[in-house]
Chain A
Amino acid sequence: MDEERGRERWTMTRHQDGRRSIMSHGEIDDRPSVLRFVHVTADADWSPVDAFVRITVGDEFRGSGWYRFADGIAECETVTKLEGRLSQRVPYTGVCPGFGGHAIQNDGWVCASVDLSKPGERQTFSQLVSSTDHRGATGPTISEARPTVIYVGDEDITVGAGSFTAHHFQFVAVEGLPEEHPIYNVWTTTDGDYIFLKGQVDGYMQTHYELVELTENL
């Protein structure tokens, strides 16, 4: 109970036009360990612009991939230990779905796809993901998943980084994964940045994630 099993350090940049970039370094210590460098840039409406994911599993290289989202095509240029060199093109219509690169902070950004005017309702939407593995320990390639999320409401919570008013979301199901993902509760800031404050996965995972430091440098 409460033993540390990993950590994530990230830097977020906000630009004048509303774009945001996050650069994250994640470490899952549970064997086989997963080390992940993730970069995601989203526009002012949270549509992904480009991304990069590099993963090491069991302290060995697993894959390095680059993503670009534009003109109705999500493309992925990647090299993985299992699949080799791949070029993927996945078409989409309309606004590009959000992208999940398996950084925990990135999970906060996924919540930006939830309509806050419909609290308590089950909302299902498309997401593009770098891996359908629960720990993101495959690929990186590009796949589509369809999470169903409930916006539970707003709550005042305290985490290591301080006390915040938070949006509370509950991921109740995710279509498109090879294994059923347990229920995942996520709390984010309400300031429009969707900064991940706290999360808890039930079921076989029983994992807890918490923002323990937050510094604004500029």
Chain B
Amino acid sequence: MTATDPNQPITQIEHTVVRGVIGYTSKKPERMDQERGREFYTITKYGDGGRTIGVHTEIDDRPSVMRDATYTVDSNWMPQDCFVRLTVADKFMGTGWFKMYDDYTECETFTALEGRVSQRMNHKHGPLKSFQNHAIACDSWHFAHYDLSKGPGIQSVDELLLCSPDHRGATGPMLYPLRLDMEYLGDEKITVGAGTFNAHHFQVPTNNDLPEEHPPYQVYTTTDGDYTFLKGGVAGYMQTHYELMEFEKTVG
């Protein structure tokens, strides 16, 4: 333990904490605007600019998916470590831990299908820039690697690692590599359940590298540098909508 310096205040609050709730609804004609899930999260931003999110996700659509994830990035949005625990159809699917180093990422996991697995995946393009844990709140974090100074267009993250290649993240958790294309469409003022915000509008175009093609995914994030997920929607067969319904700063 670090000795307490009597010349410093007894408390130390160098971090900030925000909490949010994201609602999941359907845009399919037969289920228009029906709630189909929700996500509760807490983000701690440390004094050095790194941040950790703890997020609890519930997808009600059968088979239901529950996911708890705790994910940390450094001040440059580079992944540090992640925990993912999955329940599918109310039954255990898997629990795993990911640790990112400069040259590789390791995964220690136990899944209902694969059993106890240790993985190590060498990075092909330098330190890992982003990790997909399938929490909606973290989908917007990928775009921190888009260079906004170059204006609208398409930029890529050459290597993204996922905890699952399933569109709902309902397998594993285990490592899966992917390239991520990011399209920046510009800024807009939007209103969501949590309020009115200036937003960056991004899109992930159709991704053909997954086992099943993922439809285009629109994502709106805050413009304050925190890349807080505001709103999103997946087209194609999914027709899903995600929206920030509650957001508050609780500490700092």
Q: Is B224 an interface residue (CB 8 A)?
A: no
Q: Is A9 an interface residue (CB 8 A)?
A: yes
Q: Is A208 an interface residue (CB 8 A)?
A: no
- Cβ–Cβ contact A33 & B56, under 8 A: no
Q: Which one of B5, B17, B58, B85 lies within 8 Å of A50 (CB-CB)?
A: B85
Across the interface, name the chain B residue whose C-beta is closest to A19. Answer: B92
**CB interface residues, B 71-114, toward A, < 8 Å:** 72, 80-81, 83, 85, 87, 90-92, 95-97, 99, 108, 110
Across the interface, name the chain A residue whose C-beta is closest to B116. Answer: A68
Shortest C-beta distance, B41 to chain A (Å), equals 10
Q: Once the chains are docked, how many angstroms separate the CA of A37 from the CA of B71?
A: 10
Q: Once the chains are docked, how many angstroms separate the CA of A29 from the CA of B252?
A: 12
Q: Could you name 30 residue pairs across A and B whose Cβ atoms are closer than 8 Å?
A: A9-B19, A13-B87, A15-B90, A17-B91, A19-B92, A21-B85, A23-B68, A29-B12, A29-B13, A31-B9, A33-B12, A33-B13, A37-B54, A49-B92, A50-B110, A52-B83, A52-B85, A54-B70, A54-B83, A59-B47, A61-B80, A64-B72, A64-B83, A64-B99, A66-B95, A70-B110, A79-B81, A85-B99, A138-B1, A218-B58
Known: A15-B90, A59-B47. Contact between A68 and B95, CB under 8 A?
A: yes
Q: A21-B85, A37-B70, A54-B81 are in contact. List 12 more A-B contacts (CB 8 A).
A: A15-B90, A25-B54, A35-B44, A49-B95, A52-B85, A54-B70, A56-B44, A58-B12, A64-B72, A66-B83, A66-B95, A79-B81
- On B, residues with C-beta under 8 Å from A are 1-2, 4-5, 8-15, 17, 19, 38, 40, 42, 44, 46-48, 50, 52, 54, 56, 58, 66, 68, 70, 72, 80-81, 83, 85, 87, 90-92, 95-97, 99, 108, 110, 116, 250-251
- Cβ–Cβ contact B96 & A11, under 8 A: no
Across the interface, name the chain A residue whose C-beta is closest to B43. Answer: A25
Q: Is A193 an interface residue (CB 8 A)?
A: no
Please give, as numbers and ranges, the residues of chain A lying within 8 Å of B110 by CB-CB distance.
Answer: 50, 68, 70
Please give, as numbers and ranges, the residues of chain B lying within 8 Å of A85 by CB-CB distance.
Answer: 99
Q: Once the chains are docked, how many angstroms separate the CA of A31 from the CA of B7?
A: 11
Q: Is A27 an interface residue (CB 8 A)?
A: yes
Q: Is A133 an interface residue (CB 8 A)?
A: yes
A19-53, CB under 8 A of B: which get 1 and which 0? 10101010101111101010101000000011010
**CB interface residues, A 59-109, toward B, < 8 Å:** 59-61, 64-66, 68, 70, 77, 79, 85
- Cβ–Cβ contact B14 & A31, under 8 A: no
- Cβ–Cβ contact B70 & A52, under 8 A: yes
- Cβ–Cβ contact A64 & B8, under 8 A: no
Q: Once the chains are docked, how many angstroms separate the CA of A137 from the CA of B70?
A: 18
Across the interface, name the chain A residue whose C-beta is closest to B94. Answer: A50
Please give, as numbers and ranges, the residues of chain B lying within 8 Å of A118 by CB-CB distance.
Answer: none
Q: Once the chains are docked, how many angstroms separate the CA of A61 from the CA of B80?
A: 10
- Cβ–Cβ contact A31 & B11, under 8 A: yes
Q: Once the chains are docked, how many angstroms separate the CA of A218 from the CA of B66?
A: 13
Please give, as numbers and ranges, the residues of chain B lying within 8 Å of A50 by CB-CB distance.
Answer: 85, 95, 110
- Cβ–Cβ contact A59 & B12, under 8 A: yes
Known: A39-B70, A66-B108, A77-B108. Contact between A52 and B12, CB under 8 A?
A: no
Please give, as numbers and ranges, the residues of chain B lying within 8 Å of A54 by CB-CB distance.
Answer: 52, 70, 72, 81, 83
